[in-house]
Amino acid sequence: MRVSKLIAATVLAALSSTSMAQTLRPDQAAFRELYKELVETNTTQSEGSCTLASERMAARLKAAGFADSDITLFATPEKPKDGGLVAVLKGTSKTAKPILLLAHIDVVEARRADWVRDPFTLIEEGGYFYARGAADDKSQAAIWTDAMIRFKKEGFKPKRTVKLALTCGEESVGAFNGAEWLAINKPDLIAAEFALNEGGGGRLDTSGKKVSLSMQVGEKTVQNYLLETTNPGGHSSVPRPDNAIYSLTAAVTKVGQYEFPIQFSDTTRTFFKRTAELTGGEMGKALTAVLANPDDKAADAIVSKDASFHSMLRTTCVATMLDAGHAMNALPQRARAVVNCRVFPGVSVDTVKAELDRIIGDPSVSVTKIEPIRPMAVPPPLSPKVFGPAEKLAAKHFPGVPMIPVMSTGGTDAPYLSLAGIPTYGMPGIFQQLEGSGVHGLNERISVKSLYEGRDYLFALAKIYANQD
Ligand SMILES: [Zn+2]
């Protein structure tokens, strides 16, 4: 009895797992093929080619009916493998402005030897897709490309022109960045009222239950600064009172002890208000207190125990690298530190430099901005035209799951689009467990169910935006 029950259960499980694979709708099966091709096209800086991935996606768009003139493949002679593409689906309205679907197609390096499975083969296992880029950001790149293909095949005639941009260089500092290149060199091609980007999502708890949805509305700017001090040095057997290492470490310590003042944007104000309601308890009370009075140090101390809340409340600067001295038996002639700052939207990198100079208060320690020097992050407005439809549609697709606008403390390509005057939003819809997603790390994965659900939501949402006046 027990055994037969066990066998029955095993057979049932086997049946349901095969039927799971077989019950993909035809449109989902087509999506899976596209996603697989994109993921399996290596797009790392070292060995991959975004240009090849773009050509492959262009071929699919053309097969769906896009004319050659609707597709722009771009790359520069200096960086022939870092290309991208823009595809355009013409809208019917003469007045409604276009929308832009943006995704980066480059991925972080992944070494086969370190991974359990081949990072450049799409492997479906235990309810997850495993591969480098399975989540970041090829899930979204595939969803947008697939949406354009379905729009075309359906004969969808949107009011707005819908544009797709697949770009390279998001993951590597100093690489050729396709979003930046387009914003500077082809602003008309990508011109849009707003862009839909990565950075939003949804959170699953450890049991797989949907906890919350987020739309990214604004992000901090990354800027690195070099702290440097020099000294005549000399023989270490005769120390002198002034010492490059001591000057530098004193400066670094001051940076470490300094807290930038609390600031709010429309996004973070809404985020903390909703988070306070959802969290309750001591944290909820402290969040409410900080919102009412940013100078409430006791409340700040409670809120700031959460490292990401701490970072969302202010500009942060942290020492990340040290380099000093030239010999064990010599007084140091030079000492340097890199301080990595995450600058609150609306604050310039020069303002932060002036603040670092002030708190260090030692003219012998110079503070300089390290290239690349970032433009000031302009926070996109928390527009009801963008947030409203996303929230309303989420109530249908994910009933009972609250949606919260968030300001990212990390970075995406969004600031580059602000060079072309395009406010950019990180879309909700793809649910992830924070733990074990492997994004940027080992064995990157995404829940198969989350990906298909997110795709349905994002397709419907893009369609709603596309038909706005
Ligand atoms: Zn990434």
CA of 216 to the centre of ligand 1 (A): 15
The answer to whether residues 131 and 44 belong to one domain is yes
Cα of 380 from ligand 1 centre, angstroms: 21
Q: Ligand 1 mean position to 302 CA, how many Å?
A: 30
**What is the per-residue pLDDT for 21?**
54
Q: Ligand 1 center to residue 177 CA distance, Å?
A: 13
Half-sphere exposure of 290 (CA within 13 A, CB side): 31
Helix (H, G, I), strand (E, B) or coil at 84: strand
Ligand 1: centre distance to CA 105 (Å): 10
Alpha carbon of 390 to ligand 1 centroid (Å): 23
Predicted pLDDT at 111: 94
Residue among 217, 205, 166 at smallest CA distance from 51: 166
Residue 248 sits in the same domain as residue 341: yes
Range of the domain at 45: 24-219+381-466
Question: Is it the case that residue 8 has pLDDT exceeding 80?
Answer: no
Alpha carbon of 332 to ligand 1 centroid (Å): 38
103: exposed, middle or buried (Cβ count in 10 Å: 0-12, 13-18, 19+): buried
Flag whether pLDDT at 434 surpasses 80.
no
Is pLDDT of 382 > 80? yes
Q: How far is the CA of 49 from the centre of ligand 1 (A)?
A: 17
Residue at a domain's end among 369, 400, 429: 369
Both 294 and 169 in one domain: the answer is: no
Distance 427 CA to ligand 1 centre (A): 15
pLDDT at 64 over 70: yes
What is the whole-number distance in angstroms between the Cα of residue 171 and the centre of ligand 1?
A: 6
Give the tokens for residue 262. Answer: 């609390």
Mean pLDDT score of the chain: 93
Q: Residue 385: helix, strand or coil by DSSP?
A: helix
Model pTM? 0.87
Q: How far apart are alpha carbons 406 and 153 in whole angstroms?
A: 35
Instruction: Average the pLDDT over 207-217 and give the result.
Output: 94
Q: Are residues 396 and 364 in the same domain?
A: no
Domain presence at residue 274: yes
The residues, ordered by sequence, that sit 6+ positions from 212 with a Cβ below 8 Å of its Cβ are 202, 203, 278, 401, 402, 403, 404
Is residue 181 located within the same domain as residue 227? no
CA 110, 112, 115, 116 torsion: positive or negative? positive
What is the arithmetic mean of pLDDT over 359-388? 92
Between the CA of 425 and the centroid of ligand 1 the distance, in Å, is 16
> 184 and 205 share a domain?
yes
CATH code, domain carrying 387 = 3.40.630.10
**Ligand 1 centre and the CA of 360: distance in Å?**
33
For residue 261, the tally of other CB atoms under 10 A from its CB is 11
Q: Averaged over 224-228, what is the pLDDT?
A: 98
Give distance in angstroms: CA of 135 to centre of ligand 1.
Answer: 9
Could you write out the DSSP letters of every residue in 248-314?
A: HHHHHHHHHH--PPP---HHHHHHHHHHHHHH-HHHHHHHHHHHH-TT-HHHHHHHTTSHHHHHHTS
Note residues around ion ligand 1 (Cβ under 5 angstroms): 136
| pLDDT over threshold 60, residue 82 | yes
Query: Is there a domain that residue 4 lies in?
Result: no
**Ligand 1 centroid to residue 221 C-alpha, Å:** 15
Q: Does residue 2 fall inside a structural domain? A: no
Last residue of a domain, one of 311, 337, 369: 369
> Which residues are CB-contacts of 137 (< 8 A; sequence separation ≥ 6)?
103, 104, 105, 170, 198
| pLDDT of residue 169 exceeding 70 | yes
**Residues 21-35 pLDDT 10s:** 558 999 999 999 999
Quick one: 151 and 291 in the same domain?
A: no
pLDDT at 22: 54
For residue 365, being part of any structural domain is answered with yes
Q: How many angstroms separate the alpha carbon of residue 140 from the centre of ligand 1?
A: 12
**Structural domains in the chain (count):** 2
**Spatial CA neighbour of 408 closest among 260, 268, 278, 305:** 268
**Pairwise CA distance, residues 389 & 151, whole Å:** 19
Separation of alpha carbons 31 and 202, rounded Å:
21
Distance 29 CA to ligand 1 centre (A): 26
Distance 439 CA to ligand 1 centre (A): 7
> Would residue 18 count as lying in a domain?
no
Compute, in angstroms, the gap from residue 445 CA to the centroid of ligand 1.
Answer: 13
Are 344 and 291 part of one and the same domain?
Answer: yes
DSSP state of 164: E
Q: How far is CA 413 from CA 103, 166, 168, 189, 209, in A?
A: 9, 11, 10, 17, 30
Q: Which of the four pLDDT bands, split at 50, 70 and 90, describes residue 375?
A: confident
Tell me: do 298 and 412 sit in the same domain: no
Query: Please, which residues have CB within 8 angstroms of residue 391's CB and are 6 or more apart in sequence?
Result: 403
Buried b (16+ CB within 10 A) or exposed e, 121-134: ebbeeeebbbbbbb
Whether residues 364 and 389 fall in one domain: no
Q: How confident is the model at residue 373 (pLDDT cuts 50, 70, 90)?
A: confident
Confirm whether 15 is domain-assigned: no
> pLDDT (tens digit, 9 = 90+) per residue, 96-144?
999 999 999 999 999 999 999 999 999 999 999 999 999 999 999 999 9
Say how many Å lie between the CA of residue 430 and the centre of ligand 1: 15
231 and 202 fall within a common domain: no
Average pLDDT over residues 75-96: 97
C-alpha atoms less than 13 angstroms from C-alpha of 453 in its C-beta half-sphere: 20
Name the CA radius of gyration of the chain, rounded.
25
Residues 406 and 316 both lie in one domain: no
Asked whether residue 426 is domain-assigned, the answer is yes
| 284 CA distance to ligand 1 middle (Å) | 31
Per the structure block, which two tokens stand in for 28? 């989902």
**367, containing H or E segment:** strand 366-369
Mean of pLDDT values over 301-317: 96
Distance between Cα 191 and ligand 1 center (Å): 24
**Residue where a domain stops, chosen among 369, 398, 416:** 369
Please check whether residue 147 lies inside any domain of the structure: yes
CATH of the domain at 353: 3.30.70.360
